[in-house]
Structures are given as C-alpha cells and as structure tokens.
Structure 1
Amino acid sequence: VNAVKQALKTDRKIFVIAQRDVFAEDIKRDDLYRVGVIAEIRQVLRTPDDELRVLVEGLDKAELLTFTDSDTDDAYFEAYVEVVKPPKRRKASRAEIEAMSRSIKKEFEKYASLLQRMTGELVNSILCQDDPEELFENIVFNANFQSADKQELLEKNDIIDKLSFLLAVLVKETEVLAIENDINSQVKENFGKNQRENILREQMRVISEQLGEEDEDEDYRTRILKLKLDEKINDKLLREVDRLRSLPESSQETFVIKNYLDTVLELPWKKESRIKVDIKKAEAVLEKDHFGLKKVKERILESIAVNAIKPDVTGQIICLVGPPGVGKTSIGNSIARALGREYVRVSLGGVRDESDIRGHRKTYVGAMPGRIINAMIQAGTKNPLILFDEIDKMSNDFRGDPSAAMLEVLDSEQNKEFRDHYTEVPFDLSKVMFITTANTTETIPAPLLDRMEVIEITSYTREEKFHIAKEHLIPKQLKKHGLKASQMKIDDEGIYKLIDSYTKEAGVRNLERNIGSLCRKTAKEIVSGEAKKIKFTADNISKYLGHEKYIKDVKSEKDEVGIVNGLAWTAAGGVLMPLEVLVLEGKGGVTLTGSLGDVMKESAGIAVSYTRSVAKKYGIDPKFVKNKDLHIHAPEGAVPKDGPSAGVTMTTALVSALSGKKVRSDVAMTGEITLHGKVLPIGGLREKTMAAYKEGMKKVIIPAGNKPDMEDVEDVVKENVEFVFAENLETVLEHALVQ
C-alpha cells in the first residue's frame, strides 16, 4: 500500500513481482522470483470493505537485481531492476510456429470445455487469434494455471520456448481437470443427487486413496488400539471414529467428535511418575522450602514411608486448614517435589456449578471437560499431586452443587471409575494424591469433610515469623529486586520491629510486602547516589515505612484491683486481652461492654454465680447482688470478641473488684469455668502463650486439661514463662491475687 502511494506521487510506475511463499512476512531476496513486471498504475479504487484495488498496465518485463527498505516512516521496498530485452527470434520455420499454434488451440479447446468457466465468446475470440504472441498472452491471462507455471511462462522470452511450455502446461491441466471430473462422476454415482453435502468429503476420500495418503480416521483408530484400553471404552471410542468417517468434513458434528477424541486420547491412561521413596531427601526438601509446619511434614513423611512399603496404596486425601498466608498452597508444590509427582493446582474459590467439576455433556454447544479431567491432562501422568485450593469457598445454586460432585472425586472407593459428563468413560483417579486447603471447616459440607484427613495449620508465632523472614523472605526479596546482601541488611531487632509494629497477621504476606518495600527504597537510594548500602534497625525503620501501624497490647504495669490479663486467640495469632471490672452502688445490675458475644455473656453469668458461692471465703459481701452494680468491660470495643476461654479471667476480675484484692500484673490466664469452679481446657494454647511471652508475662495460668498441649508450645516460651496448671478456680485465685 505504501509503495502504491509513493508511486502515485511520482511517475505512477511500480515493479510487480510474485513471492515464492505467499505467507512469508520477513521478505528476503530468495523469497521472490527472478522476473517481474514494470507496470504503470492506471486506477486505484477503495472497496466497501476498506481494501485497495489497483489497476495496472504492464510495460516491460524486468529482472530483479536487489531491493532495499525505504528510509521513510511509511516503509516500502525500492527495487533495482534490469529490463529484459526481447531476444532475437530464433530461426524457426513459419510451418513450425503454425503447427505449435494449432496444437495449442486444440488443447485449449479441450481445457476450456472441461473447465466450464469461460464463455463461448471468449473461447472463440482466443481461437481466432493468428498472431502467436497474441495467442500466448490471451491464453495465459484467462487460464486458471498455477502461480509457479505462470511465473515460468513469464520468464520465457523465445516464442518457440513460450509455445512449447504453454502446450505442456495445457496438456497437464487438461489431464488434471479430466481426473477431477471423473472423481465428481464417481462421487455422484455413489451418493446420488440428494446428498450434495457429502460430495466434498467423498472427493477428499477418493483423492486420498489415489495419492495413497492415510485417513485422519485411521490415525485415531491406530492411537486408540495402541492404548489397549478396557474393551467397553475401546468400543465406544471406535464407534465415535466410525461416526467421524461418515460425516462431511465441514459438518459441525465433525469438529465436536474430533475435539472429544483428542481430549480422551490426551488423558494419561497408562503413564505414571516414578514415586520417590527417599525419606531423608524428601525431609530436606520440605525443611528447605518451609519453616515450621511440623504436623504437615510428619504426615507427608508418613505417606512416603507407606509408599515405600506398599506402592499401590490409595486414599491419601489431606485437608490443610488454617488462616491466610501460612503456606497452605505453597506447601503443595513442595510435597509434589518431595514425592516426585507432577503438581497441578485447581482453584475452587467461587465454583458454584457442578459442571465445573464434572464437565458439560457433549450435546451442549461449546461443551468441555471439567476441572478434574483438565487437571489430569495438564499433569500428564496417572499419579500426580492435585491441590484443590480454597475448597471451603465453593457454593451452590440452581445449576447444582459442586461439593456433591467432589464427593466422588475424593472418595478412594469411588474414584477408581470417575465419570466426567464430557468424556462419558470411566477414568481411574485412585492413584492421585489429593490435598485440599481451606481457611475454615465450617463451610465445608459434613460428608465432604468426612472424606478428608484434616490437619490444622495454626498461625505463625513471633519467633517463627522471625526465622521465616531471615531465612526465606529477605533473600527472596533481595533476589527479586536485584540487590546484593551487602547492599541491604535488616538486623534482628529490625525484623522484630516489622513483625510487631507493621504487621498483624497469621501468615507472613504483609511481612513480605514490607520487606519488599524496604528493598525498593534501598534501590531508589542506591540508584540516586544517596547511599551505597542501607542497614535497617528498629530505630530507623519508621523513617522508611512511616509511623507504626500497630501499637503493642496494653497491659497493667502495676498490680491493680479489678484488672486481669486475659489471653485470646484470633486469626492473626494470640493477643493479650485485659479485662476490667468496676463495682458501683446500685441494685445488682450487670453491664457488659466491649462487643462481647453470646458465649462470653454466658461466661459472665457463670462468673457472677460462682463469685456469690465463694463470697464469704474471699471477704466479699454476699448481698452485693442487691446493693452493687457490676460493669465488665473488654477494651477495644470496636473489635467483636467471643469464645469459651474468658471464664477464669472474668471470675478473677470479679473476685478482685468485690474483695478489693489486687491482681498481679505479670500474670496472664486463660480457661473456661463451670458453676462449681472447675477449669475447662481451651484451644490455641501455642498462640496464647507466645502472646504472653511477648508481653513480658512471668506466669501463665492454664487449664490442667491442656497439659498435653504443652508439646506444641515454643521452647523459648517454656524457658522464660512459669506455667500453672489449674484444675479449679481456687488454684487460679491463689496464683493471681496478691496475698
């Protein structure tokens, strides 16, 4: 187009030459023929579909010497050519030329009759030509020859050579047309006049037979038989191949069957990964990739051990449950590497249609297999590790319940013959290792939950976050931002500052983001020349990240009446939760503030009743329920609080406030109570004790029933905190109240 525009601006001349490969884009000299035509542009028209139609008149034949790109913005080729001069006519008798012309006319007449595209008037006008050059030009212009033949005719100069080659081309094309007409006749005889849709298909079949080419149908048949599948599956697939053979190539059903066969044949029917049974190597992989997560690692190593003893073991379905950012998803890839399995992650968040799992039936337009079959095709082996991410985020609507479809997938007794609606043939999933992740088990249907082995992944403690940051996150972010370890350092206190003052989470995602932010600020100062390296400490981090986002939990610095340090467990880990009780003159009313939930309100009622029962023992006026009002408050009223572990804290605060005895400020406690003063076990002990240690508590009172859970408590906490195991409230009050 640019060349045409440039020619119109100058002498309207343009050099036209054909490409050897019409689809080539990066044109080189060898991609073009030797001879083209110098032409003059006569007319340029723009069609309704915005195409440019150019009418040119040929002036001279010319040989292409070389060509270059133009130097202008509107790129086009500039060609350097040499006009081909007409050669001296070879000595040939007039009779010889006349004989050739007659032969050409006779062959052209046959060709035109078989082609059936030229009008009688056009054919007669060509046959009436007496001049051999005119005859040659008219036939070449109107005949439907191949581009290569036309190019060779163009390159011929001698009239005898031209006529000889033209005659040869006409003979060849006439024979081809005769064969095509024979094929058409054969097809019409076989199928009749009313089956025109099948004519093209039959034409291709006959042509393939004559050329000795193998049918696509036979290729499918060969691939199916090579797999040596179950007889029923084999028969079904071969029936589909037979249907494909009987359909025309342009039929929509043809594409449906081809897609179906391609999908089924891509499934890993026989291929398996070789499972590694090197426990020490697997343990090293898990330890390298993830800090902590002891329970998960133990369970995986147990699986490897079982695989070593019994390779064909099935039914390994693990559900990792924990808050966001603790490594549930990323550990799936590490487990796959440790086991030597292929890894595929399938996100189930927001899935609400059963067809997403089982696929659509082939009768639907645009049908496709479900996520399970696609995952197996992606894995390429029969025994991959498939991670179902966010299994608790599935929902259902009028189109079906995807969790019901997952029942079959995750049942080791049923998934040996899993049937996708699209494939309609059973596929063995029993050798797949399934791992699922969830933030909570509350939204997972009970039948589905029953099929999985739940492993709780608790939030990371302060010490674990420190080690993860130092050993994994900082090196990772340095590499990501192109920094060397010598250019940016964060000392230990600086890491603790990031954990305590700039993040409040169960996992380490925000911690990693803050480290990334420090990397970017370091890069900026290095590039701008302000510094060659930066060391971040607890004192200067706020200069780069701004003021602290989270203030340390408030605790009593001195022993006070009615204020007790409770311990709570949130999604972000353990926290210190002070509880306050104030005694006022009144008529026995109890006020609860601080966004307390129903369970905590019930705990308050039990605490009041128990306090009445032991009033005399602790010097409390038994009539306080008639002449005193009680106000129980948990600070940070905007944050909802609930759970069955605040009973001992409330009771201790009540006894302190009503008796006037102070509570030790270096003691924290957790536990639920009964009306008779027994202390009941609680959850989240590991996180709560870490919070107590972080806040400088010297003594922590916990239920005696939680003594076995001390195995999960960090060693650094055990070394620095005294633990009291209380079976009843008397023990709690003995250690909490200042005597």
Structure 2
Amino acid sequence: MAEEGWAKEKSAPSGKTEEVPKVEKIEDDEAAFDALEAEQKEFIKDAEIDRILRAFRLDAYAVLDLQPGVPDSDIKKVYRTKSLLIHPDKTRNPQAPDAFDRLKKAQTELTDEKHRERLDEAIADARMLLMRERELTVDSEEVKSDEFAKAWREKAKMVLIDNEHRRRRQVKAQMQEEGREQKKEEEELEARKRKREHEQDWEKTREQRIGSWRDFQQGKKAPSDGKKKKKMKELGGRLGAILSWRIGYAFRGYVRTSWKTSNLHISITHTLSFRITSNTPQLYPYEPPLLPPSPVMAPARAQKVPVIPLAADTVLLPGNGLRIPFAASRPDIPALLSQVYSRASGKPASQRYNNAHVICVPLNSPLLSSNGQNLLTEDELKDKDGKANKYTIPDPASAKKDDLFTWGTAAKISGVEGRGTGEFSLIVEGVSRVRVLRVTQERPYFEADVQYETDVAPSPKDTEVQALFGTLKTLSRELLTLLRLTYLLPRRSGASGLTPMLARRIEMFIAKKDISEAGSLADFVSNLVEATLEEKLQILAAIDVRTRLERAVELLNKQVAAIKGNIKITSMTSSTVPMNGEIDLLNRQKSRALNRGTAAGFMPGMPGSAQGPPQDDQEPNEVDELEQKIEAAHLTPEAAKVAGRELKRLKKMPQQQAEYNVIRTYLENLAEIPWSVVTEDKLGADTLMRARKQLDDDHYGLDKVKKRLLEYLAVLKLKQSINDGVEAQIKTAEAEATELAKSTEKPDDAADAEPKKDVPAVDSAKIQILKSKRMVDKSPILLLVGPPGVGKTSLAKSIATALGRKFHRISLGGVRDEAEIRGHRRTYVASMPGLIVSGLKKVGVANPVILLDEIDKVGTSNFHGDPSAAMLEVLDPEQNHSFTDHYVNIPIDLSKVLFIATANDLSTIPPPLLDRMETIQLPGYTTLEKRHIASQHLIPKQIRTNGLDLTNVIFPDEVTSKIIESYTREAGVRNLERELGAVCRAKAVSYSDALDSSTLTSYNPVLTLAEIEEILGTEKFDEELAETRVRPGIVTGLVAYASGGNGSILFIEVADMPGSGSVQLTGTLGAVLKESVEVALSWVKAHAADLGLAQPGENIMKSRSIHVHCPGGAVPKDGPSAGMAHAVALVSLFSDRAVPPSIAMTGELSLRGRVHPVGGIKEKLIGALRAGVKKVILPEGNRKDARDLPDEVKQGLEIVHVRHIWETIRIIWPE
C-alpha cells in the first residue's frame, strides 16, 4: 500500500494516471524475488537430499548429520527439521522419498536404546582400535586433531560393515538351522508313524506268538518250511542252557521282541540298558555303548569348553539357577574363571562378560549308567543280612574324569558373591543340555569336548505328549495348592511351604507355558520337588521330551502323595477345590495356626522355599488397630460411611490378596487426614498488638501485607466473639428444652397415660435459628507478587507464627501433572493423595497456613491434564469447602486453610486463577530499607554464623551503604547477605591470626572503605552523579532498574550537526524509548514557532541532523518514562539554553504535550537523592506515589508535579 501511494504521488503533476504500470512493475519484481527465493529453497532441499543419500547408511548419526552421544532432544529436533525440509510432498526431487525413508530409519534406530547402544559400542571400538594401531593414549594431542577424527570415521565404517556381515551370516545360519529343524520334525513324525504301524502288526500276531511260546516250553517243534535253521547266538554270555537262565531287563523306551521257533530275537528302539542274570545271586551289569542321536535330538558341533564338577547330590537343569560355593578347597573354580574372563577380554564389548559360558556336570552315581539308565536298585545293593551297602561319591575338588556324568548343562555366569569369611559363591544360570564327548584336561580345571543339545518342540498333533503335558500342569497346580496349605498350617509336620503370593506367581508362570515349551516346563517343575540324585540325573539325561515328561510326572506324583501324607489331606486336588472354597479353607487353617516352628523345608531346590525366620502370630491385629484409628479421627458422616464399608471388606479378605494392601493403605490415609482437628487461634485481647510486633520484628517495611493480615485477624477475632455468644445462647436453649421435656413426662403405668412428648417444635426451631447465626470463617487467599529475595516465603512463615498456626510449604514450580494436585485415582498402582491432602496429613490440623510457592511456575495444559485448572477449586473460597481429591474421593473442607501464594510474574498466571486470589505487590527494597535490614538482621546473623561477637566486627553506616550501592544491585537482600558474609569471614581470619599471635591490641574491629575494596574487590556497579557543569542539550532523567529496588539518574544527550533532517539514536535503546524520542521531536517541531525556535512555517530540522544518545551503551534501556526529558533536551539544544544539573525529571509525553504518570517513583527518587539532585519534576498522576516516600526523601528533594510540558519549560526557564 505504501508503494501504491508513492506511485500516485509521483504521477500527479503530469496529469496522467500511470499508477497501474508502476504497480505491475513492482508486483513483477516481487514475483521475481519470490521465484528466486523458491529456487534457493529447492537448491537447499536438493543438497540435503543428496547429502542423506551419500551418507553411510549403517551410521544413523551420519544420516542425521549428528555427533555421537547427542541427547535424545537434539535427535528429535534435528529429525523434525530435516523431515519437514525434504518431505516428498514439499519438493519435486524424485529421490526425496528414498531420502525421507532413510532419514526416518536413522531416527528410529537412534531412538531404539538397544540399537543405539550397539552403534555407540561399534564407534567406541573403532576409536580404540585406531588408537591401538597408532599407539596413542587418550591424552595424546593427535587424538584431538581433525586428521584423527577423519580416520576415526573411516575406521567406524569398517567396524560397522564387519558387524553387518557377521549379522547377516548369523541370520543365514539361523534360517538354515530352522530348515534342519523342520526336516527333523518331519523325520520324527515318520518314525512315530512307523511305530504305530508296528504296534498294530504286533497286536495282530499276539496269538501266534503266545502259541509259539507254549510250543517252545512243551518241547514241540514248529512245522518245517524246508529251510535250514540258523544256530542260536549267545547274548551277554553263553546261553547253552536257555531254560536255566532268567532274562531280566530294565529299559526306558520301546522294546520289541519276536519269537520264531526256538530262536530269541530282541529289537531295541532308543536307549535300552538290560542285564541277563543266572539263578545265582551274582550280578552281570551290562552298559550299552553310546548310541547315535535319535531323531528327537538336535546336536550341534563339538566345542571345547571349561567344566565345573558339581557337588554331591547337586544337579543343574536348564532354565534354573544355582549357587556354587567355593573356597580354598576348590582351586579349580578360580583357575577356570581366570581363563574364561581372559578369553572374553579379547572379544567385542557386547560379547565380553555377559555371555561367558561354562559346563556344569554332576558327578556320576553307581546306580546309573553314563546315559542315565538304571543298573542297580537300592534293594540289590543290600547284603545277605539286608543291610544297605553304602557307596560314596567323590569330592568335586578331587574328582577324576571317570567320575563325571555323561550329561551336563551349559550355564551362563551371572556373577560372583563374596562374604567376609573368605567364602565365595559362583552364580550360574542353566541354558541348555550338553553331552560330554571327551575330557581333554583335568588340572588345573576340567576341560572337555562337548556337544550341545537343544529340545525339539513336540508336534501339536502328538496326543501322547499333549496328555503328558496336561497331566504335568495339573499336578503342578495341585502341588502349589498343597504348598500354600502347608505354609498356613502349624509346622509340626516338619515341612514348610510357599507363601500364597509366591505360589500364585509360580502358578501363573506355569499356566503361560504351551506345548512348545513342554521340555523346559518339565525341567522347571523337576527342580521344585524333592528328588534323589539318580532321579535328577535321569531328568538331565532325558533328551527326548516325552521321556522327560514321563519322569517329571512320576516325581510330581511321589511328591504330592508325600505332602498329603504329611498334612493328612487325602482328597484335595486343584481341579476339585474351587477358588472361594480354597480361600475359606486357607483362612480357617490360618486361624487355627498358633505356633509355627522353625523346621527346615522339604524342597531344598525349590525357589522361594520358607527357610527364613519364623513369623510371629502374636502380633496385634492390624485391622483392629486401624478401626481404632478411624474412630479417633472423627470422620465426617460421608467419610465414616465409606470407611465402614471398606473395613467390612478388609475383615473378610485374606492378607495375601493383592487388594488387601490397597484397602488398608486407603483407610490409613483416611485416618491420618485431620477432619476436625484444628489449631486454636491466639485471639486474646493483645492479639493485634502481638501480631503487629511479630511481623515488625521479622520484616522491615511491607506495610501493605501487614495491614491486610491485621485486618484478617481483627475480623477473625470479631467472628469468634460473636460465635461465643451464639454458643452460650444455644446451650441455654438446649437446657430449657430439656427441662421442659422432663416436666411434660407422665408415669408409664397411668391408665390415661399419653405418649411421651419430645422437645417442643418451637424450641427445636429456636435452636436451629441460633445455629444459623454462627459466623463461618472463610480464610482469604493472598497472592504475594514481587521479585526474588524480597521475603515472600519468610513472610508467610511469620504470618503462621503470628496466628499461632502450623505452617506447610508446597513448591509448585515444575508441576506438570494434574494428579500431583488432585491425587491419583485408587485404580492405579501405587496411587497416593495429592499435594494438598498430603500437606494436611503432615501438619495434622485442618486450619494450617499453606504456602503455595512459585504458583506462576505451574505447568500449563498437556496430556497429563492442566495443573493450573486443578488449582481453581483449591483457591476458590466458594468451592474449597468441598474439595474432592481423586484418591480420597470424599469432600474435604479447605475453607479453614489460609492459603498464601507467591509469584514473580503475573503474566504467566491464567486469568481465572489470578481472579480467585487477592494480589498484594511486594516491591523491591530501597537502599534505605536494605540498610535498615542489614543493620538489624543480616549483620548480626552473619556475625554469629561466622563465630564472632558483635564487638569483634563493627559495620559503620558508610561501609554498609558502600556494599549496598557498589557491590549489589538486586530487588532482595540475598546477594547483600552473601557479601556481608564474605566480609565477616575475612574479619574472622584477621581476628584468629591476632588471637593466635597475641596481638589483639593491633586488631581493629571497625571496618573501613579501604578494607571493603580489599576484601570484595573492585566495585561491581558505578553510580551516576549529577553534572556540575551546564551544557545545552543535556538533561538528567530518572531510571528504575528491572531487577527492582534500585534506581538512579540517566543522562540524555542531544547534539545537532549539518544534515538532511535525520535522527540517529544510540545507547542500546528499546522500541518504546525510540518512540518517545520521535514523539518529543514531533512536538518540538510542531511548537517551534511558539517556543521561539523558528519562524512560522519554517522547518526547524531543515539542513540539520540530530543525534540522541544515552550513555552506558552496554546496558539495555527501554520504557515509557523519558518522553518529557527528551523534549526538554531538544528545546535546550535548539534554544541554546542549558538545563540546571540539579533538576531531574521523569514522565511520558503525548503529542498534545500532556505528561503521563510512570512507575518506579520510589526507586527513582531515592537514586536521585543519592546522586545529588535537588529538584525533581514528576507527572501530576504520580502525586499519590510521592506520599509513600520515606521521610528522608521528602526532606532531601523538592518535588514538583506538572500536567503539561509547558509547565515543565516554565519551571526550568522561568524567563
């Protein structure tokens, strides 16, 4: 629009209207500029797309153009910026989609903690490898060079490429392994199919076999088929007299026998251990050789791994943990660990120590073969007299390779625990089964070639395994139910059980298992029960999942039967006892349990078994104690109703139930809330005088706050006196009503007896009217606003002390969640009341003084809610009598609470919240107030804090003023207290030196200005002093510092020079201050003829330029308070008349010449008095502010008020 007006003005003299071509030309230029700018943006986008596509794609940092180790916030910020820049919808580059996808992938990788950790490790490894190659250290200068950084990037690329190749090889191997697994599963299905066909054939030929056997016993011969019969072979020894031998066999697998005439054929499927004995008692054990792995196995290549022999009767199964104790008697374990970790140190960081594996092999048993088959029974070990022959298992420290079992468990080392007695324990976790092929080393530790075996998941179509798996889970649940009962029963049976919570967790763990994890579940359950060494070894050697399930079911059946016999329960199963019945039974059994012993558990390998100290059942009933607390709390009717309902639920609920603790915690919170407990206010005859003295002693000045508090105390005192009178009238009316009711009663046996009358309705109505006359106390909600350090928080404490109430402070700075104010709902885990209710619980009364500190720092609305909106109900006197916390969910009366909020800036407080509070401004302290506070409070405090006496350090007034004016410039007194403390510490050093050297006579306790400069250093702030020489164009203005509490004078300098009417502004002036200069110049130009500065119609700025400057260019200056001073300075310059330096002024100027009021009058006038100014010109609107000035300022300055700039000019130049 400005260009259009300019075009019209230029074309007016010619009389032709050529505005349109001008506009079109300008529009064409703008279009060309826009096109050029768009082309530049596209170039930037293309360059960024090209950079992303050229970046090393395996390094997400390079794709995002970031350095390793940047915080997550920078990653999100950079990704957002670059994704918006190269988004395919915002650019025409055909490669933008590829670059965008690569950028998104890089951001996803860096936000993934695991992937980013691997990337950081690879980059760190590259740096370490490069340093090793160049033989550098971390402190070497070359490490910090650009050439090293470039080489580091190239090395990181190589490491990342190697890692990617390794990952791809692993993926390929895994895919190949999955193919082999599928092939094995198909072979297993085919084997089972052949087995079923054979069983069918076996049943079909049953009669033929039985007949053949009978014929053989009777000596009959089968009919000859014309072929020559083969001679029978020997089996396990000579079978010359076949009928005198007894054939016995023990097997775990499938056995097939067939009889043809007189020959005996035995076919063995899987592993079969059998023995052939004669009629004599001599035993001939037979151990079959190692068979090749069956189709159900998944063998891997042989590896040489360290081996740890386990102690006697100890077996580690996969999926379970074990603590292996070792001391000086087991030197093999320290040697093994040293070797394991020395090997791991050369691996990458991610594979260094967390994946260190060893093989835990149990010791062999003479009752089993190396493959876990039964060789002898315990009965067969007895001698002729029936006594058992004891056999010993060697110590693992002295074991030989023949003592090791054929099967073991590959275990991951989790850590080493140490005790103060010099004993250590190695913590391992079983991972998978292994077959020990060959022991290659015995000392200093065992080492063997092993073959890893993995479980093959059973087929879902295998009904036999499905049935075994279901039986295992059913027996497991039954066992856990019995263990819960055992825990609650008296321990006279010598057995301990599981806590209900632990049993429930184990039951949930078992319930989540499916058929694919049948083998691991069998291992886990087998570790729960008590079993012999042989039974554990057989479980370990059971590679076939079906065999393992059978043995686990057998162990569970034995354990369940043993527990039932111990606790005399014979008819309880997990399928027949419903949940409610089980809980009732547990409660009844627990109520009968009086004394629990300390018997050891019967399941040594069971995790969480009760091995700890006995529990004391004679403890007080916590429910009864809780009920007493609730009764003593005097709850409101609504709260008492809720508490009663929850108490009934709690009494019927077992302690092990999860909701028990939730209800108990809720009731404890209800009992701790002060529903009716209040602090009696000290409202005597001397209440106001005592409160006024308390506030004056604690704080100097702050008259507005003190006045408001005294008003509240006066109102509270009058209300209490009225309430006391009303209470006396209510008691008198109730007594009269009681007497009247007694006089109207008649004997019960009178013939004409009438019903007893209650208190007459008229008396009841009278009492209700009197009760309605009670004065309700609604505490005010005060908001103290002021700069930091002016005493807002300490003032709130003084208010609580003056009232005699308890004080609680709540810091609201940084609160971002509404639940922190209103509490968390009980449905959430670990829920709790909000800050308000928690504060009431802490102080224990319903009418404390609560300080809401930094209320202007409360967070705004977000996905957690709006905390400032939650404060609306708290700070509304019309609503807070029924404040509802989300956790308590019962109305709580907050009307008796005196809320005092503090803030530094009102602009950040939402208007609805600000409207509910009574705002009281606390301005910064002036120099006079700081001097008084320092002499009365801060100096004595610092002297005592630093171990001195008031006679050891003396602060003269000029020293205190020097520290205030030259070393501190703040609204409060915090920095002043620090500087005073520094001076006191310096004097403490001088006093101590004089005391130690016995030269106290030379010690001077009185501080001097020279000492202050020596202790605190050079002055931090310089004070402006009024000029002594007069010059045209220079005016003394007034300024108040933004920090508050301080003010000073400000020189405004104006100079003219030949020019074209321009105006130059310097001195770091703000936008408002620049506008004030323009307004002042416009007024002077408009009234130049009236001022005698130019002829009518003459432009005063013709052929001249002016320069306006405010000294102190490093300090930013702004504000609408220098308009009058600028106008006077321009008039002084143009008229060549100087302004007396003893006159200072402040006020804003309008174009009409009116002088408007400004702020900071108190601070400005104190600064003017300190600078030597004698007369101050103020706007008429600031007359009210001058009344609150200290007497010292009123007496030291001549204050003149003006309404118009003409009045100011007449005061300065009366002529």
TM score, norm. by length of structure 2: 0.46
Are the counterparts in 2 of residues 208 and 214 from structure 1 also a CA contact under 8 Å?
no
What is the deviation of 1:192?
A: 5.3
Cα–Cα, structure 1 residues 249 and 495, in superposed 2: closer, same or farther, change >3 Å? same
Cα–Cα, structure 1 residues 664 and 242, in superposed 2: closer, same or farther, change >3 Å? same
**Corresponding residue number in structure 1 for 2:883:** 418
What is the deviation of 1:193?
A: 6.8
CA distance in 1, matches of 2:1173, 2:492: 107
Residues 17-96 of structure 1 aligned to structure 2 (within 5 Å)? 49-51=417-419
What is the deviation of 1:628?
A: 2.3
- Pick one of 1083, 1093, 1101 that aligns with 1:625: 1101
Deviations 1:334-376 (A, max 9, x none): 1100011111111111222212211211222222221111111
2:1113 matches 1:637: yes
Are the counterparts in 1 of residues 808 and 848 from structure 2 also a CA contact under 8 Å?
yes
Cα–Cα, structure 1 residues 191 and 597, in superposed 2: closer, same or farther, change >3 Å? farther
CA distance in 1, matches of 2:783, 2:1056: 48
2:1035 matches 1:564: yes
2:623 matches 1:255: no
- Pick one of 115, 120, 128 that aligns with 2:494: 115
- Pick one of 475, 482, 489 that aligns with 2:940: 475
Are the counterparts in 1 of residues 1026 and 1173 from structure 2 also a CA contact under 8 Å?
no
CA distance in 2, matches of 1:394, 1:579: 41
- Pick one of 339, 347, 353 that aligns with 2:817: 353
Larger of the two Rg values belongs to structure: 2
Are the counterparts in 1 of residues 814 and 857 from structure 2 also a CA contact under 8 Å?
yes
Deviations 1:413-441 (A, max 9, x none): 11011111111111110001111111121
Residues 485-500 of structure 1 aligned to structure 2 (within 5 Å)? 485-500=950-965
Cα–Cα, structure 1 residues 258 and 322, in superposed 2: closer, same or farther, change >3 Å? same
**Corresponding residue number in structure 2 for 1:517:** 982
2:1127 matches 1:718: no
What is the deviation of 1:721?
A: 0.5
Cα–Cα, structure 1 residues 728 and 255, in superposed 2: closer, same or farther, change >3 Å? same
What is the deviation of 1:257?
A: 2.2
2:1154 matches 1:678: yes
- Pick one of 468, 484, 505 that aligns with 2:949: 484
Are the counterparts in 1 of residues 1053 and 1129 from structure 2 also a CA contact under 8 Å?
yes
What is the deviation of 1:52?
A: 7.1
**Corresponding residue number in structure 1 for 2:873:** 408
**Corresponding residue number in structure 2 for 1:12:** none
Q: Percent identity?
A: 42
**Corresponding residue number in structure 2 for 1:320:** 784
Q: What is the RMSD computed on CA atoms of the aligned residues?
A: 3.6
Report the AA paired with residue 233 of structure 1: A
User: Residue 954 of structure 2: SS of its match in structure 1?
Assistant: strand
Are the counterparts in 1 of residues 635 and 676 from structure 2 also a CA contact under 8 Å?
no
CA distance in 1, matches of 2:595, 2:645: 22
User: Residue 320 of structure 1: SS of its match in structure 2?
Assistant: strand
Cα–Cα, structure 1 residues 221 and 667, in superposed 2: closer, same or farther, change >3 Å? same
User: Residue 429 of structure 1: SS of its match in structure 2?
Assistant: coil
**Corresponding residue number in structure 1 for 2:1018:** 547
CA distance in 2, matches of 1:665, 1:54: 88
- Pick one of 1134, 1148, 1165 that aligns with 1:658: 1134
Cα–Cα, structure 1 residues 205 and 569, in superposed 2: closer, same or farther, change >3 Å? farther
**Corresponding residue number in structure 2 for 1:599:** 1072
What is the deviation of 1:447?
A: 0.8
Cα–Cα, structure 1 residues 223 and 560, in superposed 2: closer, same or farther, change >3 Å? same
**Corresponding residue number in structure 2 for 1:63:** none
Cα–Cα, structure 1 residues 221 and 669, in superposed 2: closer, same or farther, change >3 Å? same
CA distance in 1, matches of 2:1201, 2:592: 91
Deviations 1:132-170 (A, max 9, x none): xxxxxxxxxxxxxxxxxxxxxxxxxxxxxxxxxxxxxxx
**Corresponding residue number in structure 1 for 2:693:** 284
**Corresponding residue number in structure 2 for 1:103:** none
Cα–Cα, structure 1 residues 202 and 668, in superposed 2: closer, same or farther, change >3 Å? farther
CA distance in 2, matches of 1:213, 1:185: 33
2:662 matches 1:218: no
**Corresponding residue number in structure 2 for 1:435:** 900
Q: Which moved more, 1:372-381 or 1:608-617?
A: 608-617
Are the counterparts in 2 of residues 43 and 54 from structure 1 also a CA contact under 8 Å?
no
Q: Which moved more, 1:363-372 or 1:692-701?
A: 363-372
User: Residue 1074 of structure 2: SS of its match in structure 1?
Assistant: helix
User: Residue 540 of structure 1: SS of its match in structure 2?
Assistant: helix
CA distance in 1, matches of 2:695, 2:793: 13
Residues 328-477 of structure 1 aligned to structure 2 (within 5 Å)? 328-396=792-860, 397-477=862-942
What is the deviation of 1:542?
A: 0.5
Deviations 1:241-270 (A, max 9, x none): 233334332333322222222222111111
Residues 605-616 of structure 1 aligned to structure 2 (within 5 Å)? 605-616=1078-1089
CA distance in 2, matches of 1:669, 1:652: 10
- Pick one of 636, 661, 669 that aligns with 1:230: 636
Cα–Cα, structure 1 residues 248 and 730, in superposed 2: closer, same or farther, change >3 Å? same
CA distance in 1, matches of 2:621, 2:1110: 79
What is the deviation of 1:315?
A: 4.1
CA distance in 2, matches of 1:272, 1:209: 45
Cα–Cα, structure 1 residues 244 and 649, in superposed 2: closer, same or farther, change >3 Å? same
Cα–Cα, structure 1 residues 113 and 430, in superposed 2: closer, same or farther, change >3 Å? closer
Report the AA paired with residue 335 of structure 1: I
**Corresponding residue number in structure 1 for 2:671:** 265
CA distance in 2, matches of 1:433, 1:712: 29
Report the AA paired with residue 695 of structure 1: A
Deviations 1:586-626 (A, max 9, x none): 22222222232222222222211211222123332341233
Cα–Cα, structure 1 residues 226 and 49, in superposed 2: closer, same or farther, change >3 Å? same
Report the AA paired with residue 847 of structure 2: N
Cα–Cα, structure 1 residues 249 and 112, in superposed 2: closer, same or farther, change >3 Å? closer
**Corresponding residue number in structure 2 for 1:8:** none
CA distance in 2, matches of 1:550, 1:52: 62
Cα–Cα, structure 1 residues 116 and 295, in superposed 2: closer, same or farther, change >3 Å? closer
Are the counterparts in 2 of residues 662 and 737 from structure 1 also a CA contact under 8 Å?
no
The structure with the greater share of residues assigned to strand is 1
Report the AA paired with residue 351 of structure 1: V
What is the deviation of 1:203?
A: 4.2
Residues 80-229 of structure 1 aligned to structure 2 (within 5 Å)? 114-115=493-494, 202-207=588-593, 215-229=621-635
- Pick one of 699, 712, 715 that aligns with 1:303: 712
CA distance in 2, matches of 1:493, 1:699: 24
**Highest relative contact order (Cα 8 Å, sep 6+), 1 or 2?**
1
What is the deviation of 1:406?
A: 0.8
CA distance in 2, matches of 1:114, 1:268: 49
Deviations 1:476-511 (A, max 9, x none): 111111110111111111001101111111111111
Deviations 1:707-732 (A, max 9, x none): 12222111101001000111111121
What is the deviation of 1:669?
A: 0.8
Deviations 1:677-701 (A, max 9, x none): 1111112211111111111110000
What is the deviation of 1:54?
A: 10
Cα–Cα, structure 1 residues 645 and 185, in superposed 2: closer, same or farther, change >3 Å? farther
What is the deviation of 1:737?
A: 4.7
